[in-house]
Copies of this chain bind each other. A is one copy, B any other.
Amino acid sequence: MYSFAEENYLKAIYKLQEHSDLAVNTNSIATSIQTKAASVTDMIKKLSDKKLLKYEKYKGVELTNLGKKIAIETVRKHRLWETFLHDKLKFAWDEVHDIAEQLEHIKSSELIDKLDEYLGFPTHDPHGDPIPGRNGVIIQSNFVLLSELKVGESGVISGVVNHSSVFLKHLEKNGLTLGKKVQVKEIGEFDQLVQLLLSTKESILVSNEVVKNILVKIQYS
């Protein structure tokens, strides 16, 4: 059984090494977990002793298979709880993260499997992130940044890069929620503002910063 802190470290390291197979360095862990480098060094020594990661002084860390397993289980719990909070308890998508950060540490594999079943074995959480299966397999969706679309192209909003509450609220206010179809109408040459056509025929103008943080599934028509 692992502590809350241990699970948080494993999850943070997992996310840092996810999109690059280099060793994860101390400072980046410290930043991502909002703590000090000295604390990170303490903890990675402990995790190394427990065979959850490989650690070489001054050379960063890499999760072992065991460490990766625990990290993925924690991500699975987090995303299932987020789905529960959103789908069943009707929390807004910007409200689910903080509560799920607590719920993800509840110890009971039976609980999480029953929750999974109760939710109908969802594949993605309220932000479009994939939910790892019981077996730890994560189905990678081939989503693309909305900023990659050219004028005239369409896509269905399927995820977000930025998970901050302020960004999610902004999307909500503009009707840019998961499942919505958008078409790029025009991209401002001077300021890169993007005009989007929604399926409601409504047309909205959003900044480049917004489209760079939205993931879409391309629609070929």
A binding-site residues for B, Cβ under 8 Å: 85, 88-91, 95, 98-99, 102-103, 106-108, 110-111, 114-115, 118
Contact = CB atoms under 8 A, between A and B. Distances in A.
The 7 closest A-B CB pairs, nearest first, are: A89-B114, A102-B106, A99-B108, A99-B111, A89-B118, A88-B118, A103-B106
A118 B111 CA distance: 18
5 contacts: A88-B118, A89-B111, A90-B114, A95-B110, A99-B106
Contacts of A114: 89-91
Nearest to A89: B114
B89 A115 contact: yes
Contacts of A99: 106, 108, 111
A37 B86 CA distance: 44
Nearest to A88: B118
A204 to B, nearest CB: 30
A164 to B, nearest CB: 19
A4 to B, nearest CB: 10
Contacts of A89: 111, 114-115, 118
Nearest to A108: B99
Contacts of A111: 85, 89, 99
A88 B118 CA distance: 8
A117 to B, nearest CB: 8
Contact of A107 (B91, B102, B108, B115): B102
A110 B98 CA distance: 12
A91 B118 CA distance: 12
Nearest to A85: B111
Given A85-B111, A89-B111, 12 more contacts: A88-B118, A89-B114, A89-B115, A89-B118, A90-B114, A91-B110, A91-B114, A95-B110, A99-B106, A99-B108, A99-B111, A103-B103
